Amino acid sequence: MVAAGVAATMITRFVPFMAFRPGKTTPKYIVYLGKVLPASVFALLVVYCLRTVHSLAWGDVAQVIAVAFTILVHVWRRNLMWSIVAGTVCYMALIRVPGLLANTI
């Protein structure tokens, strides 16, 4: 099984280099896919993350706020690492707000 996994990994790594040799023009559909797939994957991830949002419960609101904050940070900084870290910290802080409020009241 390990050998099959290694072989499959090597094939998927080497085939693009054999199919698209340097000096040859890359097919237009491959260039197009290279431009649209990253944004499509992120859009799919956002939909997947927000698939359970159905109410105005605090956890659902926290998810929506964190996604909006992540988008704002990404537009502002144009840095994927900043976006991921800021969105994660925002969400983790927001889901702890009800517990903090309950302890202070």
Q: What pLDDT is stored for residue 69 in this prediction?
A: 96
Q: Which percentage of the chain shows pLDDT scores above 70? A: 94
Would you kindly state where each structural domain of the chain is located, as residue ranges?
Answer: 23-104
Whether the per-residue pLDDT at 103 is higher than 90: the answer is no
Which tokens go with 59?
A: 């956890």
Q: What pLDDT is stored for residue 104 in this prediction?
A: 63
Are 58 and 97 in contact, with CB atoms under 8 Å apart?
yes
Q: Which percentage of the chain shows pLDDT scores above 90? A: 66
Whether the per-residue pLDDT at 43 is higher than 70: the answer is yes
